[in-house]
Structure 1
Amino acid sequence: MSELEIRTPIDPRRFRDVLGQYPTGVSVVTATQADGTAVGLAVGSFTSVSLDPPLVAFLADRGSTSWPKIQATGAFCANVLAADQQHVCRAFASKAPDKFADLEWSAAGSGSPILDGAVAWIDCDIQTVHEAGDHFIVIGEVRELQVANPTLPLLFFRGGYGSFAPSSSTAVEGDLLGHLRMVDTVRPWMDDIARDLDVECNAAVVVRGEFVYIARAGHAAPGEAPTRVGRRLPFRPPVGSAFVAWGTDSAAESWLGRLGDKVAAEEREAWMQAMGRVRQRGYSVGLGHHAHDALWARLINLSEPQAGPDPEMERIIDALLVGYEQRDFATGKTYDVRTISAPVFGHHGETVFQFTLYGLPRHCDAEAIQRFAARLMAGANGASQALREGGPLP
């Protein structure tokens, strides 16, 4: 026997330890048997396989008693668990006689259970099953799929469960392609701002009457939205002040016009004066209000973009107006600061991005507000310079 043919046996524990360095998502594969009984098993191996045709796969342990029952149905639904569903994973990894006890679910098109609270579900017909050592590779052809709860997923890593908030992310949608080409240029400044201030720094753009969060740097603070990237808001007061304060008069009138008859003429004039103060000092501040929390709760709970006006979101944004009057900050007082925003300019001096800080200390004095704002403006100015000159990145 040659040297190349001699192999050192792989110790199972070492195999698990090494592969455990690679984090995996956690899903529950479900099905409904002919007698109506629901069955399921937890897997850490669910993955996409093909776009055309749409195929996914998971690995089923040969020793599983649930897998033969799922296979017999000819279909399955993969439920991507949310970070707060560890108890669901434990239930399906157990030998409990009724793993669905105390769980709410609805039926997918195949009849397979969709678990309440899952991040997403993928309903499939079983296409093929391949033998692979002590597991089966199960290939499913996708019938239907949906993001049901756009929050952080549950991960399995180094033998434990947890979640991961990416330090940066970018929205990828057709109407954002022009802006996406510029994100890589400004991202180094976003990363520096987020790191230096230990906050979250978002970049947003205005596209076709919508204010869209296009990129993020830094981690979301506890209690903050898992991610704002890809979220869309109507471009109307008080949303997107950096685009208005440095924009044309006609753009400001259009922005204010979206309030309709909700404000009197003197209030519209007050908003124009507030935008003047924003431009004079170089940044805007959003002060604390329960409406901030309500707004993000509304966005997180929307599984799909709204096709038309969203009266509930409009009502919540109306409630935000009180926190954006751009007051002067008095020495010796503290303020519940939720956001600080500054503009990033393009080649022709137009506002291309709005950089916004989230996760700030809830009680900031005037000096702290100025410190955060100064660092944000320095980063925004650097990003503006890079966009104008196409120069080297920091």
Structure 2
Amino acid sequence: MAMPRRSPPTQRVVAVIDHLVAARGRRLGLSALARELGISKPTCLGILTELVAAGYLVRDPRTLTYGLGPALVAAGRAAQGELVSGDVARRHLAPLSERYGVTCTASAVVGDEIMILEAVVPPGAPPVKVGERYPFAPPVGLMYVLWGPDEGLDRWLGREPTLPVRMDREHLRAVVERCREAGYLVESLTPAGMRLHSLMAGVAAYELPQEVRALVGEMVSSLGERVYLGADLDPRRRHPVHLVAAPTYDAGGGQEMVLTLHVGASVTGAEIARRGAELAAAASAVTAELGGRPPVRPLRETPSGSR
């Protein structure tokens, strides 16, 4: 029986991915990869460029090294059918999505990016792509460190911003304290801001021309300005709300996923509080079912607000 025809170009792509998987978190540069795999540098660079563009690899702009990318998580998820955490999140988000007729998602930081891990989308709503990626650097990603250790929040604040950012640390401290106390976050965005957020999906803003970055940066609020505080929400008055978010925790009490309930409308403060409490309850149920636990926080001010 004739052997099936092999594809050397495809074999080289597979070899690059397999080599980085075997590296177990160690990032490699172009020269090292080409040498260790016996591939010419131009050919290796072409493979790496395409894999980075597709999200299967990530490239560190400072060290010029390559590592595994978040798209591999989505590929692994498809191969396994369902990730356990995503399946649990879906079961607890589905009733909320049906009750309010809105999209609910579960997402997390994977590598250096934010990835959508699960989505429950009602009939007629715009589709949400599982595996969609966003840059994890200011001003994007506050909710992914908000309920974690103060050190994680500080590290995120120390990342190079994807867009020009203004920072009011006193207000940011109030946001952190309020959201940790309530157990959920309420975010407001203007229609222009919502369109910008969608356009930023999968885009590394720092790759935009400087003049474009500055122009887009003018449309982005200071860190924390899009978050409602308790005093901002009049129970009887309507407030424009983009989404409500709540965290899940792992077995060590670290923030794991963020569950979101999209609103995209003006609702009363009382209604916001009701949806926030329901989403926080769903997040607590997911945490418990996955064997996690909420963190025990020290009674002190957050470093990010007191520096």
Change (3 A) 1:287 1:306: closer
Give 1 or 2: higher strand fraction: 1
Contact 1:237 1:259 in 2 (8 A): yes
- Report the equivalent of 1:103: none
SS at 2:104 equivalent: strand
CA positional deviation for 1:256:
1.4
Q: 1:1-394 to 2 correspondence within 5 Å?
A: 173-175=71-73, 177=76, 180-219=83-122, 222=125, 225-258=126-159, 262=164, 267-289=168-190, 290-299=192-201, 305-306=202-203, 309-311=206-208, 315=216, 319-321=220-222, 323-327=225-229, 328=231, 329-358=233-262, 360=263, 362-388=265-291
Report which structure shows greater RCO (CA 8 Å, sep ≥6).
Answer: 2
Deviations 1:50-75 (A, max 9, x none): xx88xxxxxxxxxxxxxxxxxxxxxx
Contact 2:116 2:133 in 1 (8 A): yes
Question: Which runs of 5 or more residues in structure 2 are unaligned?
Answer: 1-5, 8-69, 293-307
Contact 2:121 2:128 in 1 (8 A): no
Distance 1:361 1:294 in 2: 14
Distance 1:313 1:228 in 2: 26
Contact 2:145 2:153 in 1 (8 A): yes
When normalised by structure 1's length, the TM-score is 0.48
Contact 1:345 1:351 in 2 (8 A): yes
Give 1 or 2: higher helix fraction: 2
Contact 2:236 2:270 in 1 (8 A): no
Contact 2:138 2:165 in 1 (8 A): no
Identity %: 23
Distance 2:72 2:218 in 1: 26
CA positional deviation for 1:221:
5.8
Change (3 A) 1:367 1:186: same
Change (3 A) 1:313 1:279: farther
Distance 2:227 2:86 in 1: 30
Distance 1:279 1:307 in 2: 29
SS at 1:251 equivalent: helix
Aligned length: 219
* 1:174 counterpart letter in structure 2: L
Root mean square deviation of aligned Cα: 3.9
Contact 1:283 1:373 in 2 (8 A): yes
Contact 1:206 1:235 in 2 (8 A): yes
CA positional deviation for 1:379:
1.0
Larger radius of gyration: 1
SS at 2:252 equivalent: coil
When normalised by structure 2's length, the TM-score is 0.60
* 2:206 counterpart letter in structure 1: P
Contact 1:238 1:324 in 2 (8 A): no
Distance 1:387 1:318 in 2: 39
Contact 1:189 1:383 in 2 (8 A): yes
Contact 1:295 1:316 in 2 (8 A): no
* 1:173 counterpart letter in structure 2: A
Deviations 1:312-363 (A, max 9, x none): 68936961547524333023321111111000111111111100112x2511
Deviations 1:155-183 (A, max 9, x none): xxxxxxxxxxxxxxxxx831465993421
* 1:335 counterpart letter in structure 2: H
CA positional deviation for 1:364:
0.6
CA positional deviation for 1:184:
1.9
CA positional deviation for 1:246:
1.6
Change (3 A) 1:247 1:296: same
Deviations 1:94-142 (A, max 9, x none): xxxxxxxxxxxxxxxxxxxxxxxxxxxxxxxxxxxxxxxxxxxxxxxxx
